[in-house]
Chains A and B, each alone.
Chain A
Amino acid sequence: MATAGSDFARTIRRELISRNCNYFDAEPAPAMLPPQRHDEFGFGQFSARYGRIPTVAQLRQLAERAFGLRTFEETIWESDGRFYDVFRPVVEPNGYVSAEEVGHCRDSHLRNVRRLFEEAHVLVFALGRTEAWRSRADGLVHPMRPGTVAGTFDPETYEHVVFAADDVVADFEAFMAIVRGANPDIKFILTDSPASAVEMTDDRSGTSATNSAREVLRTAAETLRARYDCIDYLRTGEPATSSDVPFAVRTGDGRLDEDLEMAMDAFFSEHGEGSVEMLAGAEDPALRLAREAAEMLMARQQEICDDLMTEAAKGEDREGPS
Protein backbone atom coordinates (compact mmCIF):
# COMPACT_ATOMS: atom_id res chain seq x y z
CA MET A 1 0.00 0.00 0.00
CA ALA A 2 1.45 3.33 -1.03
CA THR A 3 0.68 6.96 -0.26
CA ALA A 4 1.14 10.29 -1.98
CA GLY A 5 -0.47 13.70 -2.01
CA SER A 6 -0.93 16.47 0.49
CA ASP A 7 0.28 16.49 4.09
CA PHE A 8 -2.66 14.34 5.04
CA ALA A 9 -0.99 11.48 3.17
CA ARG A 10 1.72 11.59 5.82
CA THR A 11 -0.88 10.97 8.50
CA ILE A 12 -2.27 8.09 6.51
CA ARG A 13 1.20 6.65 6.18
CA ARG A 14 1.76 6.82 9.91
CA GLU A 15 -1.57 5.16 10.58
CA LEU A 16 -1.01 2.42 8.02
CA ILE A 17 2.28 1.56 9.67
CA SER A 18 0.97 1.80 13.24
CA ARG A 19 -1.93 -0.48 12.31
CA ASN A 20 0.53 -3.09 11.00
CA CYS A 21 -0.27 -2.66 7.35
CA ASN A 22 2.47 -3.67 4.95
CA TYR A 23 3.44 -0.26 3.77
CA PHE A 24 5.35 0.14 0.53
CA ASP A 25 8.25 2.54 0.88
CA ALA A 26 10.12 2.61 -2.40
CA GLU A 27 12.78 4.95 -1.03
CA PRO A 28 13.32 4.08 2.62
CA ALA A 29 15.69 6.18 4.68
CA PRO A 30 19.29 4.97 4.69
CA ALA A 31 19.82 2.79 7.74
CA MET A 32 22.72 4.93 8.86
CA LEU A 33 20.85 8.20 8.68
CA PRO A 34 19.76 9.12 12.21
CA PRO A 35 15.97 9.19 12.51
CA GLN A 36 15.93 12.83 13.56
CA ARG A 37 17.34 13.74 10.15
CA HIS A 38 14.85 11.72 8.07
CA ASP A 39 12.27 14.43 7.65
CA GLU A 40 14.58 17.14 6.37
CA PHE A 41 15.77 14.77 3.64
CA GLY A 42 12.24 13.83 2.67
CA PHE A 43 12.38 10.31 4.08
CA GLY A 44 9.51 8.72 5.95
CA GLN A 45 6.91 11.11 4.64
CA PHE A 46 5.36 9.32 1.70
CA SER A 47 6.06 6.16 -0.30
CA ALA A 48 8.98 7.80 -2.06
CA ARG A 49 10.97 11.00 -1.71
CA TYR A 50 8.65 13.03 -3.90
CA GLY A 51 7.61 15.43 -1.17
CA ARG A 52 4.10 16.81 -1.09
CA ILE A 53 2.10 16.42 -4.26
CA PRO A 54 -0.72 18.85 -3.62
CA THR A 55 -2.35 18.74 -7.05
CA VAL A 56 -3.48 15.92 -9.27
CA ALA A 57 -1.79 17.70 -12.15
CA GLN A 58 1.49 17.20 -10.36
CA LEU A 59 0.73 13.54 -9.74
CA ARG A 60 0.10 13.07 -13.45
CA GLN A 61 3.32 14.89 -14.22
CA LEU A 62 5.24 12.60 -11.86
CA ALA A 63 3.95 9.50 -13.62
CA GLU A 64 4.75 11.01 -17.01
CA ARG A 65 8.29 11.67 -15.89
CA ALA A 66 8.74 8.29 -14.19
CA PHE A 67 7.71 6.48 -17.35
CA GLY A 68 9.74 8.77 -19.59
CA LEU A 69 6.74 10.24 -21.38
CA ARG A 70 7.45 13.88 -20.87
CA THR A 71 10.41 16.18 -20.36
CA PHE A 72 10.63 19.79 -19.33
CA GLU A 73 12.90 22.72 -20.01
CA GLU A 74 13.78 24.34 -16.71
CA THR A 75 14.27 21.56 -14.18
CA ILE A 76 17.14 22.81 -12.01
CA TRP A 77 17.47 26.06 -10.12
CA GLU A 78 20.74 27.47 -8.87
CA SER A 79 20.83 29.64 -5.80
CA ASP A 80 23.95 30.76 -3.92
CA GLY A 81 26.05 28.05 -5.49
CA ARG A 82 23.66 25.25 -4.60
CA PHE A 83 21.39 23.41 -7.01
CA TYR A 84 17.73 22.55 -6.52
CA ASP A 85 15.40 20.08 -8.15
CA VAL A 86 12.50 22.14 -9.47
CA PHE A 87 10.12 19.22 -8.97
CA ARG A 88 10.96 18.78 -5.27
CA PRO A 89 12.96 21.74 -4.07
CA VAL A 90 12.71 20.92 -0.38
CA VAL A 91 13.66 17.24 -0.46
CA GLU A 92 17.37 17.95 0.01
CA PRO A 93 18.17 20.64 2.59
CA ASN A 94 20.20 23.46 1.05
CA GLY A 95 20.08 21.77 -2.32
CA TYR A 96 22.79 19.79 -4.07
CA VAL A 97 26.44 20.53 -4.78
CA SER A 98 26.03 20.40 -8.55
CA ALA A 99 23.49 20.18 -11.32
CA GLU A 100 24.94 16.79 -12.13
CA GLU A 101 24.15 15.57 -8.64
CA VAL A 102 20.56 16.79 -9.00
CA GLY A 103 20.33 14.70 -12.15
CA HIS A 104 21.72 11.57 -10.53
CA CYS A 105 19.40 11.87 -7.57
CA ARG A 106 16.42 12.52 -9.81
CA ASP A 107 17.17 9.54 -12.03
CA SER A 108 17.39 7.29 -8.99
CA HIS A 109 14.19 8.77 -7.58
CA LEU A 110 12.21 8.36 -10.78
CA ARG A 111 13.40 4.78 -11.16
CA ASN A 112 11.98 4.03 -7.73
CA VAL A 113 8.78 5.97 -8.33
CA ARG A 114 8.25 3.91 -11.44
CA ARG A 115 8.82 0.74 -9.43
CA LEU A 116 6.34 2.01 -6.89
CA PHE A 117 3.67 2.58 -9.54
CA GLU A 118 4.40 -0.78 -11.15
CA GLU A 119 4.28 -2.82 -7.95
CA ALA A 120 1.88 -1.12 -5.53
CA HIS A 121 -1.45 -2.81 -5.00
CA VAL A 122 -3.19 0.25 -3.62
CA LEU A 123 -2.26 3.91 -3.90
CA VAL A 124 -3.84 6.33 -1.45
CA PHE A 125 -3.79 9.85 -2.80
CA ALA A 126 -4.69 12.72 -0.50
CA LEU A 127 -6.15 15.56 -2.51
CA GLY A 128 -4.71 18.87 -1.50
CA ARG A 129 -5.17 21.85 -3.76
CA THR A 130 -6.95 23.05 -6.83
CA GLU A 131 -4.42 25.73 -7.62
CA ALA A 132 -0.77 25.81 -8.54
CA TRP A 133 2.00 27.72 -10.25
CA ARG A 134 2.82 26.57 -13.76
CA SER A 135 5.63 27.31 -16.19
CA ARG A 136 4.21 29.08 -19.20
CA ALA A 137 6.79 27.56 -21.57
CA ASP A 138 6.06 23.89 -21.11
CA GLY A 139 3.30 23.53 -18.53
CA LEU A 140 5.49 22.26 -15.69
CA VAL A 141 3.35 22.29 -12.54
CA HIS A 142 5.31 23.39 -9.49
CA PRO A 143 4.82 22.04 -5.98
CA MET A 144 5.16 25.56 -4.61
CA ARG A 145 5.51 29.08 -5.83
CA PRO A 146 8.85 29.44 -7.65
CA GLY A 147 11.17 31.60 -5.59
CA THR A 148 9.97 30.24 -2.26
CA VAL A 149 12.99 27.99 -1.71
CA ALA A 150 14.97 28.59 -4.86
CA GLY A 151 14.50 30.04 -8.30
CA THR A 152 13.19 33.49 -9.03
CA PHE A 153 9.56 34.28 -9.39
CA ASP A 154 8.76 36.01 -12.65
CA PRO A 155 5.13 36.45 -13.75
CA GLU A 156 6.31 36.34 -17.34
CA THR A 157 7.66 32.84 -16.74
CA TYR A 158 5.12 31.39 -14.31
CA GLU A 159 1.36 31.61 -14.19
CA HIS A 160 -1.07 30.89 -11.43
CA VAL A 161 -3.67 28.32 -12.42
CA VAL A 162 -6.87 27.11 -10.78
CA PHE A 163 -8.13 23.69 -11.72
CA ALA A 164 -11.82 22.94 -12.17
CA ALA A 165 -13.32 19.58 -11.26
CA ASP A 166 -13.12 18.50 -14.91
CA ASP A 167 -9.41 19.31 -14.96
CA VAL A 168 -8.82 17.26 -11.83
CA VAL A 169 -10.74 14.34 -13.30
CA ALA A 170 -8.88 14.55 -16.60
CA ASP A 171 -5.51 14.70 -14.89
CA PHE A 172 -6.30 11.72 -12.70
CA GLU A 173 -7.56 9.73 -15.68
CA ALA A 174 -4.35 10.48 -17.55
CA PHE A 175 -2.32 9.46 -14.50
CA MET A 176 -4.34 6.29 -14.11
CA ALA A 177 -3.91 5.35 -17.76
CA ILE A 178 -0.14 5.52 -17.42
CA VAL A 179 0.05 3.59 -14.18
CA ARG A 180 -2.52 0.94 -15.06
CA GLY A 181 -0.74 0.43 -18.36
CA ALA A 182 2.12 -0.99 -16.29
CA ASN A 183 0.15 -2.27 -13.33
CA PRO A 184 -3.40 -3.20 -14.42
CA ASP A 185 -4.48 -4.40 -10.97
CA ILE A 186 -3.58 -1.32 -8.98
CA LYS A 187 -6.41 0.33 -7.06
CA PHE A 188 -6.73 3.90 -5.87
CA ILE A 189 -8.18 5.49 -2.80
CA LEU A 190 -8.76 9.21 -2.99
CA THR A 191 -9.19 11.16 0.17
CA ASP A 192 -9.20 14.71 1.35
CA SER A 193 -7.98 16.54 4.37
CA PRO A 194 -10.35 16.17 7.31
CA ALA A 195 -10.04 19.57 8.94
CA SER A 196 -8.82 22.41 6.84
CA ALA A 197 -10.69 22.68 3.57
CA VAL A 198 -7.64 22.15 1.46
CA GLU A 199 -4.07 23.19 1.91
CA MET A 200 -3.35 26.79 1.25
CA THR A 201 -1.05 27.59 -1.58
CA ASP A 202 2.25 28.73 -0.20
CA ASP A 203 2.50 31.55 -2.66
CA ARG A 204 2.92 35.08 -1.48
CA SER A 205 0.21 36.59 -3.60
CA GLY A 206 -2.40 35.95 -0.98
CA THR A 207 -4.33 33.36 -2.93
CA SER A 208 -5.64 30.79 -0.49
CA ALA A 209 -7.59 27.64 -0.62
CA THR A 210 -11.27 27.93 0.01
CA ASN A 211 -14.13 25.67 0.84
CA SER A 212 -15.30 25.96 -2.73
CA ALA A 213 -11.99 24.48 -3.77
CA ARG A 214 -12.72 21.61 -1.45
CA GLU A 215 -16.01 21.16 -3.21
CA VAL A 216 -14.18 21.01 -6.53
CA LEU A 217 -11.99 18.22 -5.24
CA ARG A 218 -14.94 16.38 -3.80
CA THR A 219 -16.85 16.65 -7.03
CA ALA A 220 -13.87 15.34 -8.94
CA ALA A 221 -13.35 12.48 -6.50
CA GLU A 222 -17.02 11.49 -6.56
CA THR A 223 -16.98 11.57 -10.35
CA LEU A 224 -13.95 9.34 -10.51
CA ARG A 225 -15.39 6.90 -7.99
CA ALA A 226 -18.64 6.66 -9.92
CA ARG A 227 -16.81 6.16 -13.17
CA TYR A 228 -14.20 3.53 -12.19
CA ASP A 229 -14.39 0.37 -10.10
CA CYS A 230 -10.75 0.67 -9.20
CA ILE A 231 -11.24 3.98 -7.41
CA ASP A 232 -12.68 4.55 -3.98
CA TYR A 233 -13.15 7.86 -2.29
CA LEU A 234 -12.87 8.44 1.42
CA ARG A 235 -14.64 11.64 2.37
CA THR A 236 -13.18 12.63 5.68
CA GLY A 237 -15.55 15.16 7.19
CA GLU A 238 -16.58 18.73 7.19
CA PRO A 239 -14.08 21.51 7.02
CA ALA A 240 -13.03 23.47 10.04
CA THR A 241 -14.51 26.93 10.09
CA SER A 242 -12.45 28.58 12.75
CA SER A 243 -9.11 28.64 11.08
CA ASP A 244 -7.61 28.88 7.66
CA VAL A 245 -4.04 28.23 8.68
CA PRO A 246 -2.24 25.49 6.82
CA PHE A 247 -2.89 21.92 7.84
CA ALA A 248 0.68 21.26 8.82
CA VAL A 249 0.78 23.86 11.58
CA ARG A 250 -2.44 22.74 13.17
CA THR A 251 -1.19 19.51 14.66
CA GLY A 252 -1.38 20.91 18.18
CA ASP A 253 -5.00 21.77 17.71
CA GLY A 254 -7.37 19.49 19.62
CA ARG A 255 -10.05 19.75 17.02
CA LEU A 256 -7.69 18.64 14.33
CA ASP A 257 -6.57 15.64 16.35
CA GLU A 258 -10.17 14.63 16.79
CA ASP A 259 -10.80 15.11 13.10
CA LEU A 260 -7.81 13.00 12.26
CA GLU A 261 -8.87 10.22 14.52
CA MET A 262 -12.34 10.22 13.00
CA ALA A 263 -10.88 10.26 9.54
CA MET A 264 -8.60 7.37 10.27
CA ASP A 265 -11.37 5.35 11.89
CA ALA A 266 -13.49 6.01 8.84
CA PHE A 267 -10.66 5.00 6.56
CA PHE A 268 -10.04 1.68 8.27
CA SER A 269 -13.71 0.87 8.80
CA GLU A 270 -14.12 1.32 5.07
CA HIS A 271 -11.07 -0.62 4.01
CA GLY A 272 -10.45 -3.02 6.84
CA GLU A 273 -7.68 -2.70 9.33
CA GLY A 274 -4.70 -4.51 7.91
CA SER A 275 -6.88 -6.45 5.54
CA VAL A 276 -5.88 -4.76 2.35
CA GLU A 277 -3.41 -6.93 0.53
CA MET A 278 -0.14 -5.12 0.41
CA LEU A 279 3.20 -5.56 -1.17
CA ALA A 280 6.65 -5.30 0.31
CA GLY A 281 9.14 -3.59 -1.94
CA ALA A 282 11.25 -6.06 -3.87
CA GLU A 283 14.79 -5.84 -2.57
CA ASP A 284 18.12 -7.18 -3.62
CA PRO A 285 19.32 -9.72 -0.97
CA ALA A 286 22.75 -8.08 -0.83
CA LEU A 287 21.18 -4.71 -0.15
CA ARG A 288 18.99 -6.23 2.52
CA LEU A 289 22.09 -7.65 4.22
CA ALA A 290 23.77 -4.27 4.03
CA ARG A 291 20.74 -2.66 5.62
CA GLU A 292 20.65 -5.24 8.37
CA ALA A 293 24.34 -4.75 9.09
CA ALA A 294 23.89 -1.00 9.24
CA GLU A 295 20.86 -1.31 11.50
CA MET A 296 22.81 -3.59 13.85
CA LEU A 297 25.65 -1.13 13.94
CA MET A 298 23.38 1.80 14.69
CA ALA A 299 21.60 -0.16 17.39
CA ARG A 300 24.89 -1.18 18.96
CA GLN A 301 26.21 2.35 18.98
CA GLN A 302 23.04 3.55 20.60
CA GLU A 303 23.04 0.71 23.10
CA ILE A 304 26.58 1.43 24.16
CA CYS A 305 25.90 5.10 24.32
CA ASP A 306 22.83 4.60 26.47
CA ASP A 307 24.62 2.13 28.73
CA LEU A 308 27.49 4.41 29.47
CA MET A 309 25.33 7.45 29.88
CA THR A 310 23.29 5.59 32.44
CA GLU A 311 26.42 4.43 34.24
CA ALA A 312 27.90 7.90 34.13
CA ALA A 313 24.73 9.27 35.68
CA LYS A 314 25.11 6.75 38.50
CA GLY A 315 28.72 7.79 39.01
CA GLU A 316 29.93 4.25 38.38
CA ASP A 317 32.85 3.17 36.29
CA ARG A 318 31.91 0.24 34.17
CA GLU A 319 33.11 -1.21 30.94
CA GLY A 320 30.57 -1.67 28.20
CA PRO A 321 30.03 -4.77 26.14
CA SER A 322 33.00 -5.93 24.14
Chain B
Amino acid sequence: MNPRLFVFGDSHTNPILQGFRALGPGISVRGGRLPLMGLYWPACFHTGADPLRFVGSDTQAEFQRYAASAGFDGGNVLDVGLPMVTSLSGMTPTANFFSWYEYHPVPGGARYFMSSQLLAVQLDHYYTHILDFYRRLAEAGKTVLFVVPPALRSNELHESELFHEVRHHITTAVGAVGVQIVDVTETTCDPSGMLRRQYWSDVDGDIFHANAEWGREVAGQCCRLLGLQV
Protein backbone atom coordinates (compact mmCIF):
# COMPACT_ATOMS: atom_id res chain seq x y z
CA MET B 1 0.00 0.00 0.00
CA ASN B 2 1.24 3.50 -0.84
CA PRO B 3 2.32 5.75 2.01
CA ARG B 4 -0.63 7.82 3.02
CA LEU B 5 -0.69 11.31 4.44
CA PHE B 6 -3.46 13.46 5.81
CA VAL B 7 -3.15 17.06 4.63
CA PHE B 8 -5.35 19.81 6.00
CA GLY B 9 -5.35 23.49 6.80
CA ASP B 10 -5.92 26.93 5.37
CA SER B 11 -6.02 28.09 1.74
CA HIS B 12 -2.36 27.15 1.23
CA THR B 13 -3.49 23.54 1.49
CA ASN B 14 -4.58 23.62 -2.17
CA PRO B 15 -1.11 24.05 -3.72
CA ILE B 16 0.31 21.65 -1.15
CA LEU B 17 -2.14 18.97 -2.27
CA GLN B 18 -1.31 19.75 -5.89
CA GLY B 19 2.35 19.41 -5.04
CA PHE B 20 1.89 15.99 -3.52
CA ARG B 21 -0.11 14.82 -6.50
CA ALA B 22 2.63 16.09 -8.78
CA LEU B 23 5.06 13.75 -7.06
CA GLY B 24 3.25 10.86 -8.66
CA PRO B 25 1.28 7.87 -7.48
CA GLY B 26 3.87 6.85 -4.92
CA ILE B 27 2.27 9.08 -2.31
CA SER B 28 -1.39 8.94 -1.45
CA VAL B 29 -2.86 11.96 0.25
CA ARG B 30 -6.21 12.63 1.89
CA GLY B 31 -7.61 15.83 3.32
CA GLY B 32 -8.37 19.30 2.10
CA ARG B 33 -8.84 22.93 2.89
CA LEU B 34 -10.72 24.07 5.98
CA PRO B 35 -12.61 27.37 6.42
CA LEU B 36 -10.44 29.15 8.95
CA MET B 37 -11.90 32.66 9.20
CA GLY B 38 -8.89 34.66 7.99
CA LEU B 39 -7.73 37.08 10.62
CA TYR B 40 -9.96 35.40 13.16
CA TRP B 41 -8.11 32.17 12.56
CA PRO B 42 -6.76 31.80 16.13
CA ALA B 43 -10.35 31.67 17.33
CA CYS B 44 -10.83 28.39 15.43
CA PHE B 45 -8.83 26.46 17.96
CA HIS B 46 -9.39 25.55 21.49
CA THR B 47 -7.77 22.55 22.96
CA GLY B 48 -8.48 22.82 26.64
CA ALA B 49 -10.68 19.73 26.68
CA ASP B 50 -11.01 16.43 24.83
CA PRO B 51 -11.78 15.65 22.12
CA LEU B 52 -9.42 17.77 20.06
CA ARG B 53 -11.73 19.57 17.69
CA PHE B 54 -12.03 22.82 15.83
CA VAL B 55 -14.20 25.42 17.49
CA GLY B 56 -16.01 26.69 14.41
CA SER B 57 -18.80 24.38 13.35
CA ASP B 58 -18.03 24.85 9.64
CA THR B 59 -14.36 24.17 10.23
CA GLN B 60 -15.11 21.09 12.29
CA ALA B 61 -17.66 19.79 9.77
CA GLU B 62 -15.15 20.02 6.94
CA PHE B 63 -12.44 18.41 8.98
CA GLN B 64 -14.78 15.62 9.96
CA ARG B 65 -15.68 15.00 6.33
CA TYR B 66 -12.03 14.78 5.25
CA ALA B 67 -11.14 12.57 8.21
CA ALA B 68 -14.04 10.22 7.46
CA SER B 69 -12.89 9.89 3.84
CA ALA B 70 -9.54 8.73 5.18
CA GLY B 71 -11.24 6.23 7.43
CA PHE B 72 -11.30 8.13 10.72
CA ASP B 73 -14.73 8.85 12.10
CA GLY B 74 -15.75 10.97 15.07
CA GLY B 75 -14.00 14.20 14.24
CA ASN B 76 -11.32 13.98 16.91
CA VAL B 77 -8.04 15.20 15.44
CA LEU B 78 -6.23 12.90 17.83
CA ASP B 79 -7.90 9.90 16.17
CA VAL B 80 -6.27 10.50 12.80
CA GLY B 81 -3.85 7.66 12.37
CA LEU B 82 -1.82 9.07 9.51
CA PRO B 83 1.10 11.46 9.44
CA MET B 84 -0.46 14.91 9.33
CA VAL B 85 0.75 17.71 7.09
CA THR B 86 -0.81 20.89 8.38
CA SER B 87 -1.01 24.39 7.00
CA LEU B 88 -2.42 26.08 10.08
CA SER B 89 0.19 28.73 10.76
CA GLY B 90 -2.05 31.72 10.15
CA MET B 91 1.10 33.64 9.20
CA THR B 92 -0.40 35.15 6.08
CA PRO B 93 -3.28 37.00 7.77
CA THR B 94 -1.17 37.68 10.86
CA ALA B 95 1.67 39.35 8.99
CA ASN B 96 -0.80 41.22 6.84
CA PHE B 97 -2.75 42.35 9.87
CA PHE B 98 0.33 43.57 11.71
CA SER B 99 1.29 45.61 8.67
CA TRP B 100 -1.65 47.92 9.24
CA TYR B 101 -1.93 47.54 13.01
CA GLU B 102 -1.53 50.66 15.17
CA TYR B 103 1.79 49.41 16.53
CA HIS B 104 4.50 48.68 14.04
CA PRO B 105 7.94 47.11 14.40
CA VAL B 106 9.34 49.22 11.60
CA PRO B 107 9.94 52.84 12.62
CA GLY B 108 8.44 55.85 10.94
CA GLY B 109 5.00 57.03 9.95
CA ALA B 110 2.07 57.74 12.20
CA ARG B 111 2.08 54.38 13.96
CA TYR B 112 3.49 53.68 17.36
CA PHE B 113 6.79 51.86 17.24
CA MET B 114 6.74 48.38 18.73
CA SER B 115 9.87 46.66 19.99
CA SER B 116 10.57 43.10 18.93
CA GLN B 117 9.84 42.02 22.49
CA LEU B 118 6.45 43.72 22.46
CA LEU B 119 5.61 42.05 19.15
CA ALA B 120 6.72 38.68 20.53
CA VAL B 121 4.49 38.96 23.58
CA GLN B 122 1.49 39.74 21.39
CA LEU B 123 2.28 36.88 19.04
CA ASP B 124 2.61 34.49 21.96
CA HIS B 125 -0.82 35.52 23.13
CA TYR B 126 -2.30 35.45 19.64
CA TYR B 127 -0.91 31.95 19.09
CA THR B 128 -1.88 30.51 22.46
CA HIS B 129 -4.56 28.19 21.15
CA ILE B 130 -2.73 26.99 18.06
CA LEU B 131 0.44 26.27 20.03
CA ASP B 132 -1.63 24.29 22.47
CA PHE B 133 -3.22 22.44 19.55
CA TYR B 134 0.19 21.36 18.29
CA ARG B 135 1.39 20.56 21.80
CA ARG B 136 -1.56 18.20 22.26
CA LEU B 137 -0.79 16.43 18.98
CA ALA B 138 2.89 16.10 19.83
CA GLU B 139 2.15 14.81 23.31
CA ALA B 140 -0.16 12.21 21.80
CA GLY B 141 2.77 10.91 19.75
CA LYS B 142 1.30 12.00 16.45
CA THR B 143 3.53 12.61 13.47
CA VAL B 144 2.73 16.19 12.56
CA LEU B 145 4.37 18.57 10.14
CA PHE B 146 3.88 22.33 10.33
CA VAL B 147 4.10 23.96 6.91
CA VAL B 148 5.30 27.54 6.68
CA PRO B 149 3.17 29.30 4.05
CA PRO B 150 4.63 31.10 1.04
CA ALA B 151 6.27 34.42 1.79
CA LEU B 152 4.22 37.48 0.94
CA ARG B 153 4.88 39.21 -2.33
CA SER B 154 4.38 42.74 -1.16
CA ASN B 155 6.34 44.90 1.22
CA GLU B 156 4.51 48.16 0.72
CA LEU B 157 3.52 48.23 4.39
CA HIS B 158 6.45 46.08 5.50
CA GLU B 159 4.24 43.01 5.39
CA SER B 160 7.03 40.90 3.93
CA GLU B 161 9.39 41.92 6.74
CA LEU B 162 6.64 41.20 9.23
CA PHE B 163 6.04 37.82 7.67
CA HIS B 164 9.63 36.83 8.30
CA GLU B 165 9.48 38.15 11.88
CA VAL B 166 6.34 36.15 12.53
CA ARG B 167 7.80 33.11 10.79
CA HIS B 168 10.90 33.15 12.95
CA HIS B 169 8.92 33.58 16.14
CA ILE B 170 6.28 30.97 15.44
CA THR B 171 8.48 28.28 13.95
CA THR B 172 10.67 28.56 17.03
CA ALA B 173 7.64 28.17 19.29
CA VAL B 174 6.08 25.31 17.32
CA GLY B 175 9.42 23.55 17.01
CA ALA B 176 9.82 23.79 20.78
CA VAL B 177 6.68 21.70 21.34
CA GLY B 178 8.14 18.90 19.24
CA VAL B 179 6.56 19.49 15.85
CA GLN B 180 8.65 19.31 12.69
CA ILE B 181 8.75 22.44 10.55
CA VAL B 182 8.43 22.39 6.78
CA ASP B 183 9.93 25.62 5.53
CA VAL B 184 10.85 26.16 1.88
CA THR B 185 11.36 29.88 2.28
CA GLU B 186 15.04 29.77 1.42
CA THR B 187 14.57 27.96 -1.84
CA THR B 188 11.44 29.81 -2.91
CA CYS B 189 12.37 33.38 -2.00
CA ASP B 190 14.76 35.87 -3.53
CA PRO B 191 17.40 37.56 -1.36
CA SER B 192 14.95 40.31 -0.38
CA GLY B 193 12.61 37.71 1.13
CA MET B 194 9.95 37.92 -1.58
CA LEU B 195 8.47 34.84 -3.22
CA ARG B 196 10.24 34.20 -6.53
CA ARG B 197 8.23 34.74 -9.69
CA GLN B 198 8.17 31.05 -10.59
CA TYR B 199 6.19 30.27 -7.41
CA TRP B 200 3.55 32.97 -7.71
CA SER B 201 -0.10 32.06 -7.64
CA ASP B 202 -1.66 31.47 -11.04
CA VAL B 203 -4.41 33.89 -10.11
CA ASP B 204 -3.64 37.43 -11.22
CA GLY B 205 -3.15 39.84 -8.35
CA ASP B 206 -3.08 37.16 -5.67
CA ILE B 207 -0.11 38.18 -3.56
CA PHE B 208 -0.88 35.77 -0.74
CA HIS B 209 -0.79 32.35 -2.32
CA ALA B 210 1.67 30.30 -4.28
CA ASN B 211 1.30 27.79 -7.11
CA ALA B 212 1.64 24.04 -7.43
CA GLU B 213 5.37 24.41 -8.00
CA TRP B 214 5.71 25.82 -4.50
CA GLY B 215 3.48 23.03 -3.30
CA ARG B 216 5.82 20.53 -4.89
CA GLU B 217 8.77 22.00 -2.97
CA VAL B 218 6.74 21.62 0.21
CA ALA B 219 5.69 18.08 -0.64
CA GLY B 220 9.27 17.12 -1.37
CA GLN B 221 10.49 18.44 1.95
CA CYS B 222 7.66 16.68 3.77
CA CYS B 223 8.64 13.38 2.18
CA ARG B 224 12.29 13.87 3.13
CA LEU B 225 11.34 14.68 6.74
CA LEU B 226 9.11 11.63 6.91
CA GLY B 227 11.64 9.40 5.20
CA LEU B 228 9.28 8.57 2.36
CA GLN B 229 10.62 7.37 -0.95
CA VAL B 230 8.96 9.10 -3.86
Contacts and interface: CB of A to CB of B under 8 A. Distances in A.
Contacts of B111: 287
Binding site of A, secondary structure by majority: helix, strand, loop or mixed? helix
A41 interface: yes
Nearest to A101: B115
A37 to B, nearest CB: 6
Interface residues of A, number: 41
A27 B112 contact: yes
Contact of B55 (A31, A294, A304, A317): A304
Interface residues of B, number: 36
Given A290-B102, A320-B56, A322-B58, A32 B116 contact: no
B117 interface: yes
Contacts of B56: 319-322
Nearest to A291: B102
Interface stretch (A6-14, A89-97, A136-144, A172-180): A89-97
Nearest to A288: B102
Interface in B74-128: 97, 100-103, 107, 110-118, 121-122, 125-126, 128
B48 interface: yes
A30 B103 contact: yes
B18 interface: no
B136 interface: no
B46 interface: yes
B40 to A, nearest CB: 6
A31 B102 contact: yes
B51 to A, nearest CB: 8
Nearest to A286: B100
Interface of A: 27, 30-34, 37, 41, 92-94, 96-97, 101, 104-105, 107-109, 112, 284, 286-287, 290-291, 293-294, 297, 300-301, 304-305, 308-309, 311-312, 317, 319-322
Given A97-B117, A319-B57, 12 more contacts: A37-B121, A96-B116, A105-B115, A107-B107, A287-B102, A287-B111, A301-B42, A301-B43, A304-B43, A305-B129, A308-B55, A321-B55
